[in-house]
Chains A and B, each alone.
Chain A
Amino acid sequence: MDVAAELLISVFLVISGIFGFVGSYGLVKLKNTVQRLHAPTKATTLGVGGVLLASIIFFYVDTGHVSVHELLISLFLFLTAPITANFIAKAYLARNTPQDELPPSDRDFGWSIYDDPPDGEADR
């Protein structure tokens, strides 16, 4: 394996390790639950993304095949991470935050966990 490929793989691995660590460090350091929601998005995007890129390059150099598996894992995480973050935020707000601590929506209807949707659009 030539030095350039090794260097590239190592750089991706180190970057992803740092971002994975920073994600969990933010989870411990930040003082407020909603602020903590921001930390793991880094581990999801650059952390796992860096590991998967490194593994794509590694197996390409090693075997000569381009492997698409890694891209599927990345795609799956990119699709699901916003949904879980949104769900956790909603669960936290519904249990702990009264409506008047949030800014108003400036629309006819309030935020969805405090206000009922208009008729016939209950699944929105």
Chain B
Amino acid sequence: MIEYALMFAAGCYGVALLLDLWRIAVGPDAADRILALDTMVINVIALLVLYGVWRGTAIYFEAAMLVAMVGFVSTVAYCRFLLRGDIIE
């Protein structure tokens, strides 16, 4: 039963990633693209944890944690660039 639930959840997040990609392609504003990238990062975190459950190993939590941290920093850097024109003042 868990396998089917895992497949369903992974399918949902896969379609979600495609929808995010559509929003990145269409825009129209730079803020939309940043938002879609941020959502992609969150979906990738969920997919990594799902894969860890699938394989029955806890190694992927470190990867998910690192993706979460890098995603946060990059989103803040993008927004700061839009707001101020440079990242480190």
State the A residues within 8 Å of B (CB): 6-7, 9-11, 13-14, 16-18, 20-21, 23-25, 27-28, 33, 36-37, 39-40, 43-44, 47-48, 51-52, 54-55, 58-59, 62, 67, 69-70, 72-73, 76-77, 80, 83-84, 87-88, 90-92, 94-96
How many A-B contacts if CB must be within 8 Å? 158
Chain B contact residues: helix, strand, loop or mixed: helix
> Is chain A's binding surface mostly helix, strand, loop or mixed?
helix
Residues in chain A near residue B6, CB distance under 8 A: 13
In the assembled complex, the Cα of A5 lies from the Cα of B39 at a distance in Å of 30
Are B16's CB and A24's CB within 8 A? yes
A73 lies within 8 A of B42 (CB): no
Q: In the complex the two chains form, is B8's CB within 8 Å of A27's CB?
A: no
Residues of B within 8 A of A18 (CB): 12
Q: Which residues of B contact A48 (CB under 8 A)?
A: 42, 45-46, 49
- Interchain CB contact under 8 A, B5 and A88: no
Binding site for A on B (CB under 8 A): 1-2, 4-6, 8-13, 15-17, 19-20, 22-23, 29-32, 34-36, 38-39, 42-43, 45-46, 49-50, 52-53, 56, 58, 61, 64-65, 68-69, 72, 75-76, 79-80, 82-83
- Least CB distance, A111 to chain B, in whole angstroms: 14
